[in-house]
Amino acid sequence: MKTIAITGSSGFVGTNLKKYFTNLGYEVLPIARGDLSNQQRLEEIINQSDIVINLAGANIINRWSESYKKLLYSSRIDTTQAIVKAIKKVQNKPIQLISTSAVGIYDNKQTYDENGVHTSDFLGKLAEDWEEEALKARSESTKVSIFRFGIVLGKDGGALEKMITPFKLGLGGVIGTGKQAFSFIHIEDLLNAYKFVIENNHEDIFNLTAPNPTTNKGLTLALGKTLKRPTILPVPEFVLNIIFSEGAKVLTDGQSAIPKNLMDLGFEFKYKTIDETIKDLC
């Protein structure tokens, strides 16, 4: 039986991963926030873990003050640095570190695979630095993979829970022009991708996105169709700018990413389109 240690295990993805791998017979060790600030305790956990999954990071969808941007950065970079330091020091090194990143590393003008152009804005720089720190754990003993998340859609939490209420009330609509790209993944496909990479001991950078990215308008139409509700009330970008400040970029910009590396390895997505995904979840 393999042991998996997980940072950010209380979040939406982390909670689902704990349940998923526990049901598969793995021992799951949550790495709490206090463990990350206690190097000795962190090393004890890492020393008994075969796999480390790094999900820690403050919520990206929020109002971005300068202090919050510092929190977004430190909650990802400092956590990853602590994990890498522990991996380097322990005697029994994990087989794999799977660290999280985001498709925000790409710009929003084209469709990119894992070798695509990176951005130089705050989100792009955050993702680049995050990945750079994680890759420092790579050695003969430990393989490092990076999972670049799109928007993770699932029941009982995550992005869908936050966006679905106005649609149920018939108050949903596109954000801005609705033309911005929307790369997403069904939570079930995300969990299966972790299992696929872990059980096959793959090492690479992977886009965790469905094979067919859509747009904000495509998402809106899928929600309206499935819920049988009108979607005629657009949300002006200036409203989001008032609410989220610079953080509105997460909602008003978009990245179109395809999971080429996963597909090249033979991974099969169950939910390939936004219509299939929303129909299952709603």
Backbone angles phi, psi at 87, to 5 degrees: -60, -40
What pLDDT, in 10s, does the model give residues 140-187? Answer: 899 999 999 999 999 988 888 878 888 888 888 898 889 999 999 999
Segment 109-150, tens digit of pLDDT: 889 999 988 888 888 999 999 999 999 999 989 999 999 999
Beta bridge partners of 29: 5
Spans of the chain below 50 pLDDT = none
DSSP letter at 116 equals P
Residue of 159, 155, 256 whose CA lies nearest to 209: 256
Residue 224 confidence (pLDDT): 92
Specify the pLDDT at position 240. 66
Give residue 199's pLDDT: 97
pLDDT value, residue 109: 80
The pLDDT of residue 231 is: 87
Distance from C-alpha of 117 to C-alpha of 255, rounded to nearest angstrom: 11
Helices 187-200 + 12-23 axis angle, to 10: 50
Token reading at 162: 């936050």
Q: Crossing angle of helices 122-135/66-89, nearest 10°?
A: 10
How far is C-alpha 190 from the geometric centre of its chain's CA atoms? 9
